[in-house]
Amino acid sequence: MSKNRSRKSKGGACALNKQEGGDKKDKKDKKEGGKRKTRRMAKGPSDWNKKVMEVYRDMKKKDSSVKLGAAMKRASQMKKRGEL
């Protein structure tokens, strides 16, 4: 081995950190506990959601293969026209 790469540590900055316990200990401190989050109560469907579901049911009666996305688009168009 060369002179620069000896196996023994000569006391550089790394050696000091190893002797003192290293930086890893500082980074892994336990977090302090906070407030526990509580569950929110459901407020029920919004007015818009009720209208969309009404349009969806009407469309479903006519064509059973209708998807909810199509009902949302149609309800949006109806709202823009002032029908809803």
SS (H, E, C) the chain: CCCCCCCCCCCCHHHHHHHHCCCHHHHCCCCCCCCCCCCCCCCCCCHHHHHHHHHHHHHHHHCCCCCHHHHHHHHHHHHHHCCC
Specify the number of domains making up the chain: 1
User: Tokens at residue 31, please?
Assistant: 């977090």
Decide: 74 and 55 in contact? Cβ < 8 Å. yes
32 within domain boundaries: no
* Structural domain of 77: 47-81
pTM: 0.51
The average pLDDT across 7-35 equals 62
Digit-coded pLDDT (tens) for 17-28:
556 655 555 556
Please give the C-alpha separations between residue 1 and each of 9, 11, 15, in angstroms, as whole numbers: 14, 19, 20
Assign 44 a pLDDT band (cuts: 50, 70, 90). Answer: very high
67 within domain boundaries: yes
33 within domain boundaries: no
